[in-house]
Amino acid sequence: MATNTSVCAICDLRHVTSRSIHWCPDCEEALCTECSEHHGLSRGTRNHKTILISQYQSLPTFVTDIQQFCIYHNEKYQQYCMKHECPICYKCIKEHGKCTEVISLEDVISEVKSSELLRDLEQSLEVVPENIKRIREDREDNVKSIQNSKE
């Protein structure tokens, strides 16, 4: 997570103060309008999807605290070790050499939205409001019943 999302990270490196408008989750950097345009045209970053800073700042902290880079090698996570259930960078592959299932992180992520677990979770969440409503009604009925018994 960036420490200062109000200043463009690229302009800041050039000792220029520019207000950031966009956030690149891949680079984990705030960008002004001009730098965001260059970012979208550059070969290395043209596939990055930027979002507005206001959208980034409205995300819950558990989302913004997700690490994109390996804490040991400062490389972007590219692989996933199924045995240890953790993302790894290419340099970490040496340490996971004996692990039989190291797959592309993109393969893991692409299956998440279509997984059976996600569908089950969505169905369970649809029932929650109904259950809460029923619990409230039961509670109110119980309170009335207790009041009537008291009288």
Strands 79-81 and 102-104 come out as antiparallel
Per the structure, the complete domain to which residue 92 belongs is given by 68-112
Verify that 4 and 59 share a domain, yes or no. Answer: yes
pLDDT in tens, 25-66: 888 899 999 999 999 999 999 999 999 999 998 989 888 888
- Which residues, including other chains, have CB under 8 Å from residue 19's CB and lie 6 or more apart? 6, 7, 8, 32
**What are the DSSP E strand ranges found in the chain?**
22-24, 29-31, 51-52, 79-81, 86-88, 102-104
**pLDDT at residue 28, as a whole number:** 87
Verify that 60 and 79 share a domain, yes or no. Answer: no
Asked if residue 68 lies in contact with residue 78, where contact means CB atoms within 8 angstroms, the answer is no
| Residue 33 to residue 52: CA distance in whole angstroms | 10
Verify that 60 and 80 share a domain, yes or no. Answer: no
| Residue 133 to residue 139: CA distance in whole angstroms | 10
Asked if residue 59 lies in contact with residue 38, where contact means CB atoms within 8 angstroms, the answer is no
Verify that 72 and 93 share a domain, yes or no. Answer: yes
Verify that 86 and 107 share a domain, yes or no. Answer: yes
Residue 20, exposed/middle/buried by CB under 10 A (0-12, 13-18, 19+)? buried
What's the whole-model pTM score? 0.60
Verify that 107 and 124 share a domain, yes or no. Answer: no
Q: How many CA atoms lie within 13 A of 90 on its CB side?
A: 2
The tally of domains found in the chain comes to 3
Verify that 75 and 48 share a domain, yes or no. Answer: no
Verify that 18 and 52 share a domain, yes or no. Answer: yes
Question: What ranges in 65-115 are assigned the alpha helix state H?
Answer: 105-112
CATH code, domain carrying 16? 3.30.160
Verify that 131 and 121 share a domain, yes or no. Answer: yes
**pLDDT at residue 10, as a whole number:** 94
Mean pLDDT, the chain, whole residue set: 88
In DSSP terms, 48 is beta-bridged to none
